[in-house]
Amino acid sequence: MAAPLTPDILVIGAGAAGLSVAAGAAQMGARVVMLEAHRMGGDCLNTGCVPSKALLAAARRGETYAEAMQQAARAIAAIAPHDSQARFEGLGVLVIRGIGRFTSPREVEVDGVVIRARRVVIATGSVPVVPPLPGLTEVPFLTTESLFDLRACPDHLLIAGAGPVGVEMAQAHVRLGARVTLIDAGRALAREDPDLVAPVLDRLRAEGVEIIEAARLVAVAGGAGAVRLDLDHGRQVSGSHLLLALGRRADLARLNLETAGIEATETGLRTDVRLRTTNRRVYAAGDVAGQGQFTHLAGYHAGIILRSALFALPARARGDHIPRVTYTDPELAQIGLTEAEARVRYGDRLEVFRTDYADNDRAVTEARTEGFAKLMVVRGRPVGVSILGDGAGDLIGLWALVMANRLKISAIANAVLPYPTLGELNKRLAGAYFSGRLFDSQAVKRMVRAVQRHLP
């Protein structure tokens, strides 16, 4: 039997988190082995962020379904070389295509090869949730892993789950010519501020999406081209295709975690603030860390792990500065606490400010005035920002900078932004915090009058 491989870092999974760890570690001189049983780039490149955003963009341009799917394929092909095995081998990473499993707290085996690494990073990502519904095993259905293989537009797409993925795909498909029914057991986009969600749902309804909320899916029947969903209270919905968009769960089944002394939770792996699992030699990154399922969060996790595993620095992960975006038209972006969450946490100490797109000159000139932004502030520091409107995902980036560095509102108020740009929405939002303090303050007015009396 061949001698074990002994790298500094073993990365299990070549999705966003694993690739970031492997690239960073290899370029800083560490010996790295990476395992991947399927496609390099993981969910984000192949079945998630990249194809879905390409589909949304094509739908917004009014392209046909076939053209939209071709654009999604072109986007994947254009980005794939950056995530390819060849590129990572060029960086010095040993890439092994296979499924790894722990055989002891320190060793992983893949196809007869034993790897004994100083540190292991589990970055196996997540897979779509497929519930044990009666009839589902007999009825063809789609998930995000198969949706982009379609080449003909569904006649009537039933989408179970009105989270970000379900809502995005509902708008994309109705614009591409499908009838769409969107169903959720609770409230659509339930995690988001209802003030921002309502205009998004109004837009979807205006475009032809039927939205059914508070409807629990109890059974599935039918066959190819004719699917029936049985909902609670005796309701039924029929369509040609079914897309399950009920969330994702951490992909951990084949790792043999118990042998390694690694504990799992309902959302992923149990970790400490340094992203170490209950086996201190093993880290979790990305979806399996159980802190959210975003590519940018995976990249952030990679940075924390590199500082800890390579340099023994006490890097600690936090979550209050991680933004999220729903890429509908209009876009919905959030960082930190929503207004409702902030009121529960801070009570009377919370201040809330709002500005409308209609008050932004660039939005007016381009007739993009639908939308608004909210700022939640406690003692001069933002604790949350919500933005609804064109470019919301780009606008939230400035607040990510502010909150990551724990800056005060004055950091944005002091900035000089180019005119006319949508970026001035952020400046106006920050200015709203100070305007009441300056323009409505009797003390300020008395000070101004006193100074003026003494000026020559």
- Binding-site residues for FAD sit at 53, 100, 124-126, 287
The annotation places the binding site for NAD(+) at 161-168, 247
As given in the structure block, the two tokens for residue 219 are 């059974």
The annotation places the binding site at 53, 100, 124-126, 161-168, 247, 287
- Residue 73 carries which DSSP code? H
As given in the structure block, the two tokens for residue 406 are 């724990």
- Single-letter residue type at 29: G
Q: Torsions phi, psi of 384, nearest 5?
A: -175, 150
With 0-12 / 13-18 / 19 or more C-beta atoms within 10 angstroms meaning exposed / middle / buried, residue 186 is: exposed
Cα–Cα distances in angstroms (integers) from residue 223 to residues 140, 146, 228, 232, 240, in the given order: 7, 17, 8, 21, 9
Helix (H) or strand (E) holding 191: none
Residues 185, 163: Cα–Cα separation, whole Å: 11
Residues 45, 80: Cα–Cα separation, whole Å: 7
Residues 190, 340: Cα–Cα separation, whole Å: 12
Q: Torsions phi, psi of 76, nearest 5?
A: -60, -45
Long-range pairs for 68-72 at CB < 8 Å and ≥24 separation? 68/172, 68/176, 69/148, 69/150, 69/151, 72/148
Q: Do the beta carbons of residue 317 and residue 404 sit within 8 Å?
A: no
Strand locations in 142-298, DSSP E?
A: 156-160, 179-183, 210-212, 217-223, 226-231, 236-239, 241-244, 248-250, 282-284
Question: Which residues, listed in sequence order, are joined to residue 96 by a DSSP beta bridge?
Answer: 35
